[in-house]
């Protein structure tokens, strides 16, 4: 039982245990880092920090593919990928530690340094404290690996009593550390990060102002009574979510402010939420769509938003649109998580209801939709208008600055393209022969929808019944009763917008400025 016994050759069991030790060291590193991040900042935890760095460096085409392949799970898939890669590396490090203990621990430390670098170089990091979770976590992991592998190769022989005692001790240390890390992480999650708690409390305490200009009541005919059609108003919990945030920012409304600055602004202005909410608020129904929405895709939703008109705020600060000689043609909105979204100043100030919104369907913005304040500009895709968790607005020019998505291959300016979607019947459905309601939604925000037509197979285009128009900024439901004969049929839809332009047949990619083309659905009608 002497500590000075010379190391022996590792057996297969030793190697297996070393691999387990490596995995456990990685697990404990991440758990401890997560724990530390609860006090520092949840976003500074290594997996979201590294994941965020990966997201920002992912080629646009790959990101677009990921959104299409994994939908709103793309972030979970990315983080799972990082964990799997870490797992493989951890096994390698465990085996390395068996040969060379200090080197194994040094490797764990090196990953800690990488995580720390990722955390402090995130655009939303404003403190070196963000390095702490990764460093503390990896230090714990490195120490654990050192202790564990120390139990593996001491002793005269693999079968000796000393070696057996060491293995028992390995298992005891491993099990207790693993349990302790799991327990601590679970406890921290249950208690909640103080940062997130303050944000949740500030949201719970928020009283939305009454709109000086309420939205007109939704016309009764705007909602068709067709099972399976998208509801005219998308409930918040069903509203699509697209953003780059791996951890949803939880902003404390009591400490939030918005800075307005840049070309044409008389002098920098800063608004608190209270100041913003004390201005006359307007309430509007606006349909928001994502440029990554494929023909027939789900990334579009309609809500009743409450906020203050952005144009008025800009005017007050001295901003004039380019058509009135203003020096800035681009408004860059930046968020607490480092997003930068560029919007044409001309459109923001042309009379449409561009908003700094704080209410969504009668409640404060949900955290995932930008609490406490986001921007919205009817008629423009979200990536060029709808900055969530906004914290500053800079007036600049398109020549002088490329917003986040532009170097990634997306157009700097992107009005929404007219789209129509068949919600029901679903693709590959098998309705019974007879009257089948073909129905869905069509949108061309700020131009409005004038006509929707449906085609069965290669038949003539037939005009669908349009639901009442709420506003030209919202989508419009449509329905068409079809006398369905047994067999396989292709249903196709196309819309005509308020300018008289009909959706072109040709499909284009979502990149660089939105998909176009006709949506069709294939169904097999069951015989009578």
Ligand X SMILES: Nc1nc2c(c(=O)[nH]1)N[C@H]1C(S)=C(S)[C@@H](COP(=O)(O)O)O[C@H]1N2
Q: What does the binding site for Mo ion look like in residue numbers (CB under 5 A)?
A: 242, 290, 382-383
As measured in angstroms, the least distance from the Cβ of 288 to ligand X is 6
Tokens of residue 100, six digits: 């060379």
As measured in angstroms, the least distance from the Cβ of 464 to ligand X is 27
Q: CA–CA separation, 478 vs 238, rounded Å?
A: 20
Helix (H, G, I), strand (E, B) or coil at 332: strand
Nearer CB in complex with ligand X: 64/453: 64
State phi, psi for 73 to the nearest 5 degrees: -90, 5
Nearer CB in complex with Mo ion: 383/389: 383
Burial class (CB in 10 A: 0-12, 13-18, 19+), 404: buried
Are 112 and 29 in contact by the 8 Å Cβ rule? The answer is yes
State how beta strands 257-262 and 390-396 pair: parallel
Nearer CB in complex with ligand X: 326/379: 379
As measured in angstroms, the least distance from the Cβ of 248 to ligand X is 10
Nearer CB in complex with Mo ion: 265/288: 288
Alpha carbons within 13 angstroms on the beta-carbon side of residue 98 total 22
The H or E element spanning position 410 is: none
Are 422 and 491 in contact by the 8 Å Cβ rule? The answer is yes
As measured in angstroms, the least distance from the Cβ of 310 to ligand X is 15
As measured in angstroms, the least distance from the Cβ of 381 to Mo ion is 6
Nearer CB in complex with ligand X: 14/337: 337
Are 240 and 366 in contact by the 8 Å Cβ rule? The answer is no
CA angle 22-121-248, nearest 5°? 80
Residue nearest to Mo ion (CB): 290
Provide the binding-site residues for ligand X, judged by CB under 6 A.
Answer: 239-244, 288, 290, 335, 337, 339, 369, 382-383, 386-389
As measured in angstroms, the least distance from the Cβ of 385 to ligand X is 8
Tokens of residue 378, six digits: 């009817």
Q: CA–CA separation, 28 vs 148, rounded Å?
A: 13
Nearer CB in complex with ligand X: 229/386: 386
Query: By C-alpha distance, which of 258, 281, 208 is closest to 389?
Result: 258
Are 93 and 21 in contact by the 8 Å Cβ rule? The answer is no
Residue nearest to ligand X (CB): 382
Are 482 and 509 in contact by the 8 Å Cβ rule? The answer is no
Nearer CB in complex with ligand X: 219/362: 362
As a whole number of Å, the end-to-end CA separation of the chain is 85
Q: CA–CA separation, 385 vs 348, rounded Å?
A: 9
Tokens of residue 52, six digits: 């965020």
Q: Looking up tokens 């990619």, which residue turns up? A: 509
List the single partner that 241 binds among Mo ion, ligand X, none, CB under 5 to 8 Å by kind. Answer: ligand X
Nearer CB in complex with ligand X: 296/431: 296
Nearer CB in complex with ligand X: 170/383: 383
- Dihedral of CA atoms 104, 109, 110, 113 in degrees, nearest 10, equals 170
Cis ω before 141 (30° cut-off from 0): no
Tokens of residue 195, six digits: 């940062």
As measured in angstroms, the least distance from the Cβ of 388 to ligand X is 4
List the single partner that 116 binds among ligand X, Mo ion, none, CB under 5 to 8 Å by kind. Answer: none
As measured in angstroms, the least distance from the Cβ of 336 to ligand X is 8
Nearer CB in complex with Mo ion: 160/516: 516
As measured in angstroms, the least distance from the Cβ of 241 to Mo ion is 10
As measured in angstroms, the least distance from the Cβ of 75 to ligand X is 11
The H or E element spanning position 303 is: strand 300-309
């Amino acid at each position: 039982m002497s500590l000075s016994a010379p190391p022996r050759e590792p057996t297969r069991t030793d190697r297996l245990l070393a691999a387990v030790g490596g995995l456990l060291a990685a697990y404990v590193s991440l758990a401890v880092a997560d724990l530390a991040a609860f006090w520092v900042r949840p976003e500074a935890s290594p997996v979201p920090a590294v994941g965020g760095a990966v997201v920002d460096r992912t080629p646009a085409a790959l990101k677009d593919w990921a959104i299409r392949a994994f939908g709103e799970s793309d972030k979970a898939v990315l983080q799972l990928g990082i964990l799997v890669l870490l797992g493989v590396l951890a096994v390698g490090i465990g085996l390395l530690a068996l040969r060379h203990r200090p080197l194994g621990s040094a490797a764990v430390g090196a990953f800690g340094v990488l995580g720390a670098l990722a955390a402090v170089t995130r655009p939303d990091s404003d403190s070196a404290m963000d390095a702490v979770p990764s460093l503390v976590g990896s230090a714990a992991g490195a120490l654990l690996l050192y202790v564990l592998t120390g139990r593996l190769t001491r002793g005269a022989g693999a079968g000796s009593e000393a070696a057996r005692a060491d293995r028992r001790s390995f298992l005891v240390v491993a099990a207790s550390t693993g349990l302790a890390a799991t327990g601590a992480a679970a406890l921290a999650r249950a208690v909640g990060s103080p940062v997130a708690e303050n944000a949740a409390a500030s949201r719970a305490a928020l009283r939305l102002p009454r709109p000086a200009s309420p939205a007109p009541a939704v016309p009764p005919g705007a909602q068709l009574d067709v099972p399976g059609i998208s509801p005219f108003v998308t409930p918040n919990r069903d509203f699509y979510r697209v953003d780059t945030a791996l951890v949803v920012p939880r902003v404390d409304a009591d400490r939030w402010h918005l800075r307005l600055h840049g070309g044409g602004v008389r002098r920098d202005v800063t608004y608190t939420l209270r100041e913003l909410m004390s201005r006359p608020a307007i309430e509007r129904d606006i349909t928001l769509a994502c440029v990554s929405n494929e023909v027939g895709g789900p990334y579009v939703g309609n809500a009743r938003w409450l906020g203050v008109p952005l144009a008025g705020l800009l005017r007050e600060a001295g901003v004039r649109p380019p058509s009135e000689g203003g020096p800035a043609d681009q408004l860059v909105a930046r968020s607490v998580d480092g997003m930068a979204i560029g919007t044409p100043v001309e459109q923001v100030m042309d009379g449409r209801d561009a908003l700094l919104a704080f209410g969504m369907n009668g409640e404060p913005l949900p955290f995932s939709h930008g609490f406490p304040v986001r921007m919205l500009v009817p008629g423009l895709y979200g990536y060029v208008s709808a900055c969530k968790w906004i914290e500053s607005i800079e007036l600049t020019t398109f020549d002088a600055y490329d917003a986040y998505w532009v170097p990634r291959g997306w157009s700097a300016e992107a009005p929404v393209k007219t789209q129509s979607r068949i919600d029901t019947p679903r693709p590959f459905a098998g309705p019974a022969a007879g009257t089948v309601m073909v129905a869905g939604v069509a949108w061309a925000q700020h131009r409005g929808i004038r006509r929707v037509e449906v085609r069965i197979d290669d038949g003539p285009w037939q005009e669908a019944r349009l639901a009442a128009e709420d506003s030209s900024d919202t989508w419009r439901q449509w329905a068409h009763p079809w006398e369905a004969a047994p067999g396989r049929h292709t249903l196709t839809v196309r819309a005509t917008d308020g300018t008289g332009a009909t959706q072109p047949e040709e499909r284009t990619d979502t990149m660089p400025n939105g998909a176009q083309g006709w949506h069709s659905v294939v169904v097999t009608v069951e015989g009578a």
